[in-house]
Amino acid sequence: MTRTRALIAVTLATLVVVAAAALVPVARAADPIKLGFGMALTGGLSANGKPALLAVEIWKDDVNKKGGLLGRPVQLIYYDDQTNPSTVPGIYTKLLDVDKVDLVISGYGTNLIAPLMPIAMERKLTVMGMFGLANNEKYQYPNYFQIQPAGPDPQTSTAIGFFELAARQNPKPQTVAIVGADAEYPQNALVGARELIKRYGLKTVYDKTYPPSTVDYTPIVRAIKATNPDIVFVASYPPDSVGMLRAAHEVGLQPKIFGGGMVGLMFTTVMTSMGSMLNGVVNYDFWAPEPPFLAIPGIKEFLKEYQARAEKAGVDPLGYYLPPYSYALVQVLGQAVEATKGLDQQKIADHIRATEFNTIVGKVKFGKNGEWAKGRTLMVQYQKISGNSIDQFRGPGKKVVLYPDEFKSGNLIYPYAAALK
C-alpha cells in the first residue's frame, strides 16, 4: 500500500514537473529572436524612415542566411510611428507587452527617440538610437547608444567642421549669418553654431528662424544678403534646404562659404534635381562614396543589395545617407548578443559600452551618453556637378570630404563663388 502510494506520488510529481516544463516558455532553437521598433514609414521623416527599415531588413536577411543570432532566426516586428512622437509610447508598450520582443531599437530621428527614453529607462532596456541629436544629454541613461557619429558634443557636431574650415581660410572670414527652421534639429544645430561663433571670434550679423511651412525663401535670403555676411550657416529640413538654395541662386547670395546643416541635399532625388546648383555648397554629411569609406569591409556588398531593392521599396536609390548607419546600428546589437551569448539587457549594454565594433561604416566605439566616443560628422563640398544624371553621384569626386582631416578626400574650393564657375 505504501509502495503504491509512493508510486502514485512520484507519478503525480513527474506529471506536474512535465506539465510545468511544458507551460514555461523556453526559447527553442526554432524560436525567432524578435527585434521591435517603430519607424517613420509615413509623414515628414518617412523619406529617411523607409530606407532605414530597408537597411534593417537587409541586416536581418544577412544574419538569417548565416544561421541567425545564437542559432535562432531574427524576426522584425515594427509599426509605423507616422513621424508622430505621440504614437511612440503605445508602439513600444505593445512591442514589449503583447509582441514580447527580445530587443528594441529606436525609430528614426530625434523627435521619435525622445518619447522612447522614459520607457527604456523604466524597463531597463538596452536601446539603440537611430540618428538622434542630444537625446541623452539630460537623461544620461547608461544603456542608450546612438549611431549617428555626432560624438561627445552633439550640439556643436553639425557645425564644427563648417566653422573650422572657415577659420582656416586666409584672410579669415569675419561676419556670419545663421538661419534655420523652427524645429527640433535646426534649433539644436543653431545653438551649436552660436557657441562656435563665439569660440572662433566671429561677428553675427543675422540670426533668425522661420516656420517650417514657409513657401517663399527669397525674402529671407534677400535680408541675409543685405547684411553682407562672409559666412552663411543654414540649418534646414529638405524642403527648406531646396528653397534656400534656389533662392540663394535667384537673389545672387554669394558669401565666402555657404551651407552647414542643410538636411536633404544629400538625398538622391534632391541631388539629381538640383544638379549644378549644389556646386560650392559646404554641408554636413555622414557618408560619401569617397575612397576612405568605400574601403571599409562590407559596405560595397551592402550598397549593392540596398540599391537592388531600393526601387521596389520606393526609397532613395543610392542610400548614402542613413542606410549604412541603420545597418551598422543593428550590426552592433547583433554582435553584442552573440558576444554575451544571451538576451540579458544589462549584459548587452555593458558589452556595447566596453567594446569597439567593426561595422560597415567603420570602427564604432561609444562614449559619453551613448554617443560615439569620437565624433565623425563630415563636412563635404559639392564640386563639379553638371546636369542631372544620377550616375555622377555614384562614385568619388562630386561630394568631396573636407573634414575631419583623417577622412579628407579633396580640397575646399574657396570662396563659394569660385565653385559656381
Q: Which three cell numbers stand for residue 413?
A: 574650393
> Site mask, another protein, residues 388-407, x = CB under 8 A?
x-------------------
**DSSP structure class, residue 277:** G
End-to-end CA, the chain: 105
- How many angstroms separate the CA atoms of 64 and 397, rounded? 36
Grid coordinates of 184: 527640433
- Binding to another protein (CB under 8 A) within 231-260 occurs at 238-239, 242-243, 246-247, 249-252
Q: How far is the CB of 42 from another protein (least distance, A)?
A: 6
Rounded to a whole number of angstroms, the minimum distance from the CB of residue 247 to another protein is 8
Judge whether 261 and 159 are in contact, CB under 8 Å. yes
Q: Which of 105, 220, 235, 262 binds another protein (CB under 8 A)?
A: 220
**Calpha distance 18→243 (Å, rounded):** 68
Q: Which of 101, 117, 125, 315 binds another protein (CB under 8 A)?
A: 315
Q: Which residues inside 97-156 make contact with another protein, applying CB under 8 A?
A: none
In this structure, what C-alpha cell is assigned to residue 266? 544629400
Site for another protein in 30-59 (CB under 8 A): 41-44, 46-47, 49-50
Considering only 88-96, 130-138, 203-211, 288-296, which stretch makes contact with another protein by CB under 8 A? 203-211
225 phi-psi bin (left φ>0, alpha ψ -120 to 50, beta other): alpha
CB of 141 or CB of 267, closer to another protein: 267
Rounded to whole angstroms, the maximal C-alpha distance in the chain is: 106
56/266 Cα distance (integer angstroms): 20
Question: Of 204, 209, 254, 307, which one interacts with another protein (CB under 8 A)?
Answer: 209
Of the residues 90, 118, 297, 314, which one makes contact with another protein according to CB under 8 A: 314
Q: Which is nearer to another protein, 105 or 242 (CB)?
A: 242
Q: Which of 192, 260, 264, 324 binds another protein (CB under 8 A)?
A: 264
- Per-residue binding string, another protein, 284-313, x by CB under 8 A, is -----------------------------x
Closest distance of CB 389 from another protein, Å = 12
Nearest Cα to Cα of residue 56 among 316, 268, 334, 314 = 334
CA 259 to chain centre: 20
Distance between CA atoms of residues 328 and 299, nearest Å: 10
Cα three-residue angle 165-388-161, rounded to 5 degrees: 10
Where do we find the cell 534635381? Answer: 273
Instruction: Tell me whether residue 34 or residue 225 sits nearer to another protein (CB atom).
Output: 225
Nearer to another protein, 222 or 353 (CB): 222
Inter-axis angle of helices 154-167 and 184-199, to 10 degrees?
A: 50
Q: How far is the CB of 296 from another protein (least distance, A)?
A: 26
How many helices (H) and strands (E) are present in the chain, helices listed first?
15, 14
Q: Is residue 208 involved in binding another protein (CB under 8 A)? A: yes
Residues found near another protein in the complex (CB under 8 A): 41-44, 46-47, 49-50, 182, 208-211, 213-216, 218-220, 222-223, 226-227, 238-239, 242-243, 246-247, 249-252, 264, 267-270, 273-274, 277, 313-316, 388
